Structure 1
């Protein structure tokens, strides 16, 4: 089996941990961002937040209750984080979607979902016609809520707790390139305080929107 060059690159990052499960290629790196960078990103999210949406409506109005912010690519801190992710992963920045921030207040969550677009979904052609499907996800916790807000990957029995600056990065595909349902994950309810994250998704082809 050919070695995934992105996984190999991430494995070489000092202090990174790889999930020891063949079902899912997932990495965790504590202190990927410093506290000042996280605070700056939180301030941007608070300025630009709006209700989050999902690609294919499923009739559950409580499926995703967070708020989202499209982070400005010309902000020097955002640009620096973008560059740090590209350096750590080896992923081509041209394949990256614009970085987003998410804010979860008490009671808000994102129920179990995958980041890739379902080929039989109503909006598959709309979202994937230009750049293809999502390949890798990079998510960074910006703070620690008072309670709750963990990310649970049920298929591999892994729950990741928020820590300021912690990076979680995973491949949405299997080794053969097929979509991996084991990436199903749940942004669990915040029970106290507020949770902030940033997310960067990468595509099969250059982002051309």
Structure 2
């Protein structure tokens, strides 16, 4: 089982390097926040001690779930302390989650996704950097191919209807190519509901008798959120075509609350600055809501997304008056 798993992931890595012209996916409507955690208390230091000599990757904790889509579960991918740390970084910076419009590619609000969330910055602190290293070791995919980690929070009744992690529009296909894989990390226990469900999975028949699943989860193959566990699934087949079996959703939370962290990984580097960063490019906004966000102070609160970084051309540079 271990050898077949490693071989499958090696194939995925190899194809990601050879199919560099494939289209991209990615949500662009959500905010990054560059504020760093600087408190050096005993708890923080104890977390840093974990895995300082390695990224903590243990392949013996990985099990295969399904082949359509290709999905794998890593038990205990994050420690309780790492889970709690990510929640602390995000808790006071959450905003309404958005989705990408299939025609325009712009980020819009939608009732199909009712959670709140925020983006960390890459390597935001030593703990985040170590988790990113661990993800790269597990997936065999380069760190630079990944987007920043997104933290999501689901309260009672909140959900994300089934969707794909690859885009259908051309506007979002300029940087990084398609998303080849998604790593979904569970940061909290959920009393009831909140499962990750794959409605098109061939494995859904094996869970028909599980009465502990919510009604939503019974519509496909489902995985219950368990604090510290991580789910890896591929959105593309080994031949680089999109996998319709990768359709997935987050079932409504019935009791408790759900925290999760998502890392989307592309077939080529997602760190390459956009061609839009050229000084000859017209000063524009990338989203119709930029002026509204700027008026609310997002240029200062979330400069990485709004204004940009050396690796990312800001989406609201005109409204933030930086060009």
| TM beyond 0.5 | yes
Match of 1:117 in 2: 167
Given the two structures, how large is their TM-score scaled by the length of structure 1?
Answer: 0.88
Larger deviation: 85-94 or 102-111? 85-94
In the alignment, structure 1 segments of 5+ residues that lack a partner are: 119-123
CA shift in 2, pair 1:6/1:144, >3 Å:
farther
Q: What RMSD over aligned residues (CA atoms) do the two structures have, in Å?
A: 2.2
Match of 2:99 in 1: 54
CA shift in 2, pair 1:179/1:87, >3 Å:
same
Distance 2:117 2:173 in 1: 21
Larger deviation: 67-76 or 90-99? 67-76
CA shift in 2, pair 1:162/1:4, >3 Å:
closer
Q: Secondary structure at the match of 2:242?
A: coil
Match of 2:236 in 1: 173
CA shift in 2, pair 1:185/1:3, >3 Å:
closer
2:29 aligned with 1:24, yes or no?
Answer: no
Distance 1:3 1:70 in 2: 29
2:147 aligned with 1:97, yes or no?
Answer: yes
**Map of 1:138-153 to 2, 5 A cutoff?**
138-153=183-198
Distance 2:66 2:153 in 1: 30
Cα offset, 1:6, TM superposition:
5.6
2:113 aligned with 1:64, yes or no?
Answer: yes
Q: What is the count of residue pairs matched by the alignment?
A: 200
Equivalent residues of 2:66, 2:72 under 8 A apart = no
1:40-80 deviation digits (Å, cap 9, x = unpaired): 11111212211100011699932000011111332221111
2:129 aligned with 1:79, yes or no?
Answer: yes
Higher relative contact order (CA 8 A, sep 6+): 1
Distance 1:76 1:147 in 2: 33
Distance 1:203 1:20 in 2: 21
Given the two structures, how large is their TM-score scaled by the length of structure 2?
Answer: 0.58
Equivalent residues of 1:24, 1:171 under 8 A apart = yes
CA shift in 2, pair 1:29/1:7, >3 Å:
farther
Equivalent residues of 2:64, 2:71 under 8 A apart = yes
